[in-house]
Amino acid sequence: MTKVDTDIREEIERYQLDKKQQSELSDLLELCHSKLDETNDELVTKAFILCCKSHEGVKRASGEPYYLHPIEVAKIMADDFNIDDESVAAALLHDTVEDTSVTLNLIEELFNPTVRHLIDGVTKITGVFESRDSKQAETFMKLILSMAEDIRVVLIKFADRLHNMRTISHLPRQKQLKKATETMELYGPLAHRFGLFKIKNEFEDLCFKVIDPNSFKFIARKLKEKKEAREKFIGEFMEPIENELEGQKFKFEIKGRPKHIYSIYRKMQRQQKPFEEIYDLFAIRVILEDPHTKEDCWRVYSVITDWYTPIPKRFRDFISVPKANGYQSLHTTVITKQGRKVEVQIRTRKMDDIAEHGLAAHWKYKEGATGGSSELDKFVHWVRDVLDSPRPDAATEFVKDFQLNLYQDEIYVFTPNGELKTLPKGASCIDFAFEIHSEIGERAIAAKVNGKMVPLRQKLKIGDQVEIITGNKINLNADWMEDVVTHKAKARLRQFIKQKERKVADEGREVWEKRAAKGKVEASDQELTKLSKRFKFQNAQDMFYEIGAGAFDVNKLFEVVKEFKSKGRIDRPDQEFDDPSEDEIQEHYISTARAVGDGKALLVDGELTGVKYSYANCCNPIPGDDVVGFISRNGDVKIHRSNCKNAHHLIRTDSERIIDVTWAKNIDTHFLGAVKVIGEDRVGLVNDLTEVLAKSLKTNMKSINVSSEGGMFEGILTIYVSDLNHLENIINRLERVEGIKNVIRYE
């Protein structure tokens, strides 16, 4: 243990709680004892003291000491969710890491890894909730679930928001509105999906009060006015039933189920009815205390329907067939002698707990509910699966294993506007760009992830905020094929590669047509297809592609066409077009290379005699690059960079014609190279770039091509370089120019 930790331990031991804090602590401990299976008093007390100590002197908007907030959150954890003491401790400390000097390491030292894990989770999802502005609650929920590995993290966040909403009146109006809309849009639906109906209702009423205070006040006032009449009616309605149930020794509670204000409002809106008509639909709930069973619910049903006439159509048995979210209850609607309809719900205490607290209640009743199958969403399915499987573990073990390992195949990322996008796991910025729009994908030149420039091929993580920087022209790269996972991006790249190949083939066809015109022969497409097969090409297109790429000698084709045209047939065997001449060429050049070079590879230095060579203009190799030579059928060697796509194609299809080449030591020529520069646009940027090149690098520039858009600058500088070192120097220097974000070699 470090000295600092020892100090803090001592400080916590010495810390004196004041009177108010002491009574808060004993309230909280009492609540824990009554609501939780077991409570480690020491753990909760230590967390309580660290909470008071670390928020010491800080006040809330209301003027109250800040520590009261985490204490209230801890109380909600114990009272509403009643899960365990670790989540109570984490609730007490949920704001410490974010707002005070307390670190996660310290928390782990003082408490245990679980408490650390919970607080870390809350801090992280708070960031997501607070920094994003999203209306897609559904996707948002998935995001939260995939980020929060432990469901207790989400519950602490709910409790935190609930207390903040309860005390929202102290904030300025603007902030109130922002929080309320956010809560309505995100927390409400989330709470609903978790089956936390009581919390959801409270969220809705608290928000409604802020968003539409007049309607809220109107309904609240009406409810108050009607309260007496309502209670009287319920009393009269229930009296005979209560007597009968008591006579039969039932233990029960009756709730008049006052609907929450927002749901009354929504019904008024939806059904276009005045308050009275909505409100006068009475609903009464009979809750049977433990150890009553579901059979007892049926006995209560029979007592009620003995007294009042049921409407058969309105009977629902959610006990035998629970709702998807685990809800169980008997529903019936009966008519009083005065002709008033009353809805009656009958359920056990356990069923009521699950109806109110949803998922959280499942901890209390470990075996959970059994489910129907309609409208089951993935989440509830999964929860049910976990809950249904027989588990011998203790309750706490169960909670620990309760990992939210759902939605593992998807990640959720944000656009700059805070819009959520769902992508498959492993997606890159390129996938994201295509997801936004195919045009964005085509024109993407760089990406910013969480405000930082990154290469387009970078893989994305959950919660990343991604901005794509586009240029004016299409900027696709065949190599991206390896960096994309989405169908959209793959399809477009495949199309692009095809187009590119077609272009090379078109060039090859042109070469052929010129040669044919010069030699005064003509051949139809059909004939060319037929003849191409003698060179072992699949079709004429493939042959033209090779001609275009400089890999197949057009003269060979010419000879064959000429022979075919004059004789109407070809006498030579296929062999003659192929291997022998190949070997000869290979051998000849290799021997020449050995004579001149280092014995292993062909030296390229411009002084070689006997070997004609040229640089492939698809990849513009410069000294220092890894290169390969490709012996073409007309006898010269084309030098490609070994990472060139065309070279790869040739290696795949014609590996025997590849020859090792290497650069000679001293090369005096200059090579053309290009770099792409991306950065924030500013006045004088181009000047600074050319200055750096000319002055400090003594580099001549052939051309510069710039475009700028939306404050971003993209430039392609074509320069004369002596070798790779030189080019790398240039890249390094240009990267240091103010405002420049990314410099890459450009082909």
Q: Which residues are catalytic?
A: 98-99
Nearer to Mn ion, 95 or 353 (CB): 95
Nearer to Mn ion, 96 or 146 (CB): 96
Q: Rounded to whole angstroms, how far apart are CA atoms 304 and 299?
A: 9
CB of 91 to Mn ion, least distance (A): 9
CB of 104 to Mn ion, least distance (A): 17
Stretch binding Mn ion (CB under 5 A), from 25-33, 39-47, 153-161, 465-473: 153-161
Q: Rounded to whole angstroms, how far apart are CA atoms 248 and 435?
A: 65
Residues 166, 157: contact at Cβ < 8 Å? no
CB of 101 to Mn ion, least distance (A): 17
Q: Does the footprint of Mn ion cover residue 72 (CB under 5 A)?
A: no
Residues 222, 214: contact at Cβ < 8 Å? no
597: Cα separation from own chain's centroid: 54
Nearer to Mn ion, 160 or 296 (CB): 160
Nearest CA to 432 out of 412, 408, 406 is that of: 412
Stretch binding Mn ion (CB under 5 A), from 88-96, 343-351, 391-399, 601-609: 88-96
Q: Give me the 379-418 binding string for Mn ion, x by CB under 5 A, dash otherwise.
A: ----------------------------------------
Nearer to Mn ion, 73 or 608 (CB): 73
Q: Does the footprint of Mn ion cover residue 435 (CB under 5 A)?
A: no
Q: Rounded to whole angstroms, how far apart are CA atoms 66 and 73?
A: 12
Nearer to Mn ion, 162 or 288 (CB): 162
Q: Rounded to whole angstroms, how far apart are CA atoms 329 and 346?
A: 6
Secondary structure of 397-438 in the HEC alphabet?
A: HHHHHCECCCCCCEEEEECCCCCEEEEECCCEHHHHHHHHCH
Nearer to Mn ion, 92 or 238 (CB): 92
Nearest CA to 427 out of 445, 443, 447 is that of: 447
Per rule CB under 5 A, count of chain residues that contact Mn ion:
2
Q: Does the footprint of Mn ion cover residue 160 (CB under 5 A)?
A: yes
Nearer to Mn ion, 65 or 322 (CB): 65
Q: Rounded to whole angstroms, how far apart are CA atoms 520 and 543?
A: 20
Calculate the alpha carbon distances from 705 to 484, 716, 722 in Å. 29, 5, 21
Nearer to Mn ion, 160 or 467 (CB): 160
Nearer to Mn ion, 169 or 591 (CB): 169
Assigned token pair, 78: 């114990």
Assigned token pair, 165: 């909403």
Task: Extract the runs of DSSP E, i.e. beta strands, from 575-646.
Answer: 602-604, 613-615, 627-631, 637-641
Q: Rounded to whole angstroms, how far apart are CA atoms 612 and 491?
A: 40
Fill in the DSSP letter of residue 591.
Answer: H
Stretch binding Mn ion (CB under 5 A), from 14-22, 159-167, 561-569, 617-625: 159-167
CB of 163 to Mn ion, least distance (A): 7
Stretch binding Mn ion (CB under 5 A), from 152-160, 260-268, 367-375, 708-716: 152-160
Nearest CA to 93 out of 65, 63, 123 is that of: 123
Stretch binding Mn ion (CB under 5 A), from 94-102, 144-152, 409-417, 461-469: 94-102
Residue 286: its H or E element: strand 282-288
CB of 94 to Mn ion, least distance (A): 6
**Nearest residue to Mn ion on Cβ basis:** 160
CB of 126 to Mn ion, least distance (A): 8
Residues 619, 658: contact at Cβ < 8 Å? no
Q: Rounded to whole angstroms, how far apart are CA atoms 509 and 114?
A: 69
Q: Does the footprint of Mn ion cover residue 95 (CB under 5 A)?
A: yes
- Terminal-residue alpha carbon distance, the chain: 57
DSSP string, 228-252: HHHHHHHHHHHHHHHHHHHHTT--E
CB of 95 to Mn ion, least distance (A): 5
CB of 69 to Mn ion, least distance (A): 6
Which residues bind to Mn ion, rule: CB under 5 A?
Answer: 95, 160
